[in-house]
Structure 1
Amino acid sequence: MQGRGGGASSSSGDGDLSTTQSGSTAGQNEKRGDTKEGKPARGVTMSDEVVPPAAGGSAYPPARASRSSRQGTREASFEVPPLRQRLTELFVAEHPIKNEPTVMQSLKAIAFASWFNVLLVFIPVGWAMHFAKLNETIIFVFTFLAILPLAGLLSFGTEELALRVGQTLGGLLNATLGNATELIVAIIALVKGELQLVQSSLLGSILSNLLLVLGMVFFVGGIRFSEQGFKDTAAQLNSSLLVISVIAILLPAGYNAAFSDNQTAEVERDHILKMSRGIAVILLVVYLAYLFFQLFTHKHLYAEGHVDPDDPIVRDGRQVWREHRVFRPAPSARRPRQIETGLEEEEEVEEEMPSLNKWVALGLLVVATVLIAVTSEFLVDSISGLTQQHPEISVEWVGLILLPIAGNVAEHVTAVTVSFKDKIDLSVNQLESGFYCAQCLMGVAVGSSIQISLFVVPFITILAWIINKPLSLLFDPFESIVLFLSVLIVNYTIQDGRSNWLEGFLLMSVYIILAVSFWYYPNGGGATLTG
């Protein structure tokens, strides 16, 4: 009995011990993430993050996760305000600067920046001929050639400074200072009272960017690639802004055509001047709103390489949809639920290799601006003598065709080179579908036109108001029609978000047609108020 009782007791004790060991083992298995059957559960790790249970299950957050959550809450209370954060992002370079070049390295980079620099010899030659009061045609040719490398150096210095700020602000800096030559020429012509030349040069800059630059970009890029694509949302917005500029120019022309017979010339002149100045103020407000939209609220639309996965593309003649985001979005536009892989963790941080020291770049901007201002003054002075010696050349043709080419020839070459090389990161999906991104190139061409139409034109109009010059938005009727038709064909071209070589060829053909038409347009046929 005792033996059996002892045996039973021992058996009971063994059972209790077995139960205790089983419970201990189960507890250890649970700590290791094992199942009740003793098999390890897949996908369970010892990280602080908790995988949410299936629907209807119970959550089991560990204590460390709750501490991490409390720490995240404390850090969230010290977050930077959104507006201040976005302002900071504007002045923070997208990629860190690896090494600042020395002064000698910077000067060497300036000297060999472009083959256009060989034309710098025409600067002293053109100045000397101006002071010697030689033939006006020769002075015009030499000063025209001298502006070509100066505009290129100004663009080069601007690009070097843009490397040291945010991507959006850098693009705005490029577009703004890229039009500095046109602005300087317009101011000098305005001060000298060449109002027809002012209007023609500004309109010519718009047409040059819309038709010639954009056409060359599409054509050269389309020769190498079957199709190039760009963000159609930003393109449609740019089209709307261009339409606003066309409306601002057509309204004074329509007023002049409708009411010129019912009132005296003085009354008409006064009304059109007041109308133009009011429209100029409104255009500047629109431009400020556009800057706020581009720099703050919707900066992701203008980020390099931003492609919306909801936009369709054409593959093998049929419309398909992207399955993945093929470009890395801007930090402010990054999706909250983006899945990261080990490849992204191993991605090396890109570093910029500037060609110029930042102080040398600033000095280059100052020197180039001064030289452009002086050379442009001599150039404007020689235009009247050129048109008198050669009556077949009109002031309008010089302003519409020649002056914009002088200010943008370096940008033309750069845009075409980039379009041919397609210097934008391409994914395998894009290479297979033949869909290439030309967003930044189209932004240079169309963005420069928007800068001129919404900023430079109204700014010059208000400046003329300040210095008491009767400059209005009443452009020549033929010029107004040309601007309307040019914006119309560009809007039709970019509305589908894709480009090819034929579309570029058509845009360039339209520009050549306009150049031929204005060659035979009579000099002084404009409707500018010269009162």
Structure 2
Amino acid sequence: MSSETAPLLPNANGNGSTSPTLVHRVKALIAAEGEPSWGKSYRYFLLESYLNLLLLFIPLSMVAHYSNWDAALRFSFSFIAIIPLAKLLGEATDQMSSKLGQTLAGLLNASFGNAVEIIVGVAALLQNELRIVQTSMLGSILSNLLLVLGCSFLAAGFKFKESNFQVTAAQASSSLMTLACITLVIPAAYHSTMLEANNAANDNSLMRFFSVPDETQDPGLLAISRGTSILLLGVYVAYLAFQLKTHAYLFEAEEQEAETPNMSVVSAGVALLATTVVTAFCADILVASIEETAERYHIPKPFIGLILLPIVSNAAEHVTSVWMAMKGQMELTIGICVGSSIQIATFAIPLLVIVGWIFGHELTLFFANFETITLFASVFLVNTLIQDGKSNYMEGLMLITLYLVIALAFWVAK
């Protein structure tokens, strides 16, 4: 056996040292597998896209934050900095996935597929910005279902008269999305019933329609939300098994030529960890500046959470989804858009409720009635459009129009 591949054994002199060293073994393993070197991996990671020039806004956002610059500058710098970080998170995840096999790759993508949304949500939760948590999560669902999917259908419609996709898998995903939507209707219905019972004499229909969670939540509402969150996490685990194991054939796209990875597994893992930490810092700065920015520049906080934040976190997914749609890979497009929405609704939101439970923040699944209705209408429209397994540019235009109407409504709703 050559010295490069020899196992770790004591030397002949019996001093217990190893020959070769662990570092040499790792290098030999990487060379044997034909993986890129660390230098090549990080050159690719940092230099493969012009979008990475926006990483310059990371130090700018930190300087603005610690120097207490104007809130709009702090918000804008951290807002822009998260855009390339979202792409780098996706890139590191993809590079790791290429070597881990289908099951582990699926679990990794499920965990980090919406990492930016979860990081922003945790940052807002720890600052007790419960409304920002809720609106940003809801906004991510609406952005994926309406804006990203709509733009994908529209772009594909300009290239192909009609695009086809696997209808059974799409319907299974949309059915789970419907279940998640219904679980958000139940807390809203409970809240409305209790409010009507307790305030029958001074009932104000309009205020109840736009009512938002109080600082101190009803114990029953907390119990419903926390119990439902645990159940949704269980359903999400079952969905992963359905998608990756028992019914994986439903979600298989056309055979693609295997791409040579541009990063080693270890370097991609380190990059993923480092990018997550930096994203957490930028998200913390972003959330800390929202309150002052909203007040000084008269921007409704629900609009910031529902429209602006999801645009940042979904920027990379948006580009990927549209690109896949234009290549005729509609299964991948549906998987990105609907699958990401399912991750948010059945994994990210319940996870944040449980994290809030652990750290003493009373986050619930109760959304204002207006928000619940917009989600229900969006899911209903998506289900209607994908049930035939075909798409065209007109369907994309419908989805984008509904998204713009919702954005307008949240701009005027204080």
Indicate whether the TM-score tops 0.5: yes
Matched residue SS, 1:235: helix
2:237 to 283, 288, 291: 288
Q: Where does residue 359 of structure 1 map in the other structure?
A: 266
Instruction: Find the aligned partners of 1:103 and 1:260 in 2 and give their Cα distance.
Output: 59
Pair 395,111 (structure 1): closer, same or farther in 2 beyond 3 Å? same
1:495 to 377, 387, 392: 387
Matched residue SS, 1:163: helix
1:359-398 equivalences under 5 Å are: 359-391=266-298, 393-398=299-304
Whether contact under 8 Å (1:256, 1:268) holds in the other structure is no
* AA matched with 2:64: M
Q: Does 1:416 align with 2:322?
A: yes
Q: Where does residue 14 of structure 2 map in the other structure?
A: none
Q: Does 1:126 align with 2:61?
A: yes
Matched residue SS, 1:134: coil
Instruction: Find the aligned partners of 1:175 and 1:213 in 2 and give their Cα distance.
Output: 18
Post-superposition offset of 1:386? 0.1
CA RMSD of aligned residues (A): 2.0
Pair 351,401 (structure 1): closer, same or farther in 2 beyond 3 Å? closer
Q: Where does residue 366 of structure 2 map in the other structure?
A: 474
Pair 261,503 (structure 1): closer, same or farther in 2 beyond 3 Å? closer
Q: Return the structure number with greater relative CO, CA threshold 8 A, min gap 6.
A: 2
Q: Where does residue 13 of structure 2 map in the other structure?
A: none
Whether contact under 8 Å (1:168, 1:299) holds in the other structure is no
Q: Which moved more, 1:352-361 or 1:227-236?
A: 352-361
Instruction: Find the aligned partners of 1:98 and 1:411 in 2 and give their Cα distance.
Output: 30
1:444-523 equivalences under 5 Å are: 444-522=336-414
Unmatched tracts of structure 1, length 5 or more: 1-96, 306-326, 329-349, 423-436, 523-531
Size of the alignment, in residue pairs?
369
Instruction: Find the aligned partners of 2:144 and 2:42 in 1 and give their Cα distance.
Output: 30
Instruction: Find the aligned partners of 1:267 and 1:395 in 2 and give their Cα distance.
Output: 20
Q: Does 1:438 align with 2:345?
A: no
Q: Could you give the per-residue CA deviations for residues 251-305 of structure 1, whole angstroms, max 9, x where no partner exists?
A: 1111111232334899981111111111111111111211221222111111223
Runs of 4 or more consecutive aligned structure 1 residues displaced over 6 Å after TM superposition: 264-268
Q: Identity over aligned residues, as a percent?
A: 43
Post-superposition offset of 1:114? 2.1
Q: Between Structure 1 and Structure 2, whose CA radius of gyration is higher?
A: 1
More helix by share: 2
Instruction: Find the aligned partners of 2:314 and 2:135 in 1 and give their Cα distance.
Output: 15
Matched residue SS, 1:214: helix
Instruction: Find the aligned partners of 2:173 and 2:39 in 1 and give their Cα distance.
Output: 41
Q: Does 1:225 align with 2:160?
A: yes
Whether contact under 8 Å (2:102, 2:244) holds in the other structure is no
TM-score (norm 1): 0.67
Q: Could you give the per-residue CA deviations for residues 311-365 of structure 1, whole angstroms, max 9, x where no partner exists?
A: xxxxxxxxxxxxxxxx79xxxxxxxxxxxxxxxxxxxxx5531111222211110
Pair 303,390 (structure 1): closer, same or farther in 2 beyond 3 Å? same
Unmatched tracts of structure 2, length 5 or more: 1-31, 200-213
Instruction: Find the aligned partners of 1:267 and 1:517 in 2 and give their Cα distance.
Output: 27
Whether contact under 8 Å (2:321, 2:332) holds in the other structure is no
Instruction: Find the aligned partners of 1:385 and 1:420 in 2 and give their Cα distance.
Output: 41
Instruction: Find the aligned partners of 2:102 and 2:393 in 1 and give their Cα distance.
Output: 28
Post-superposition offset of 1:504? 1.1
Pair 479,224 (structure 1): closer, same or farther in 2 beyond 3 Å? same
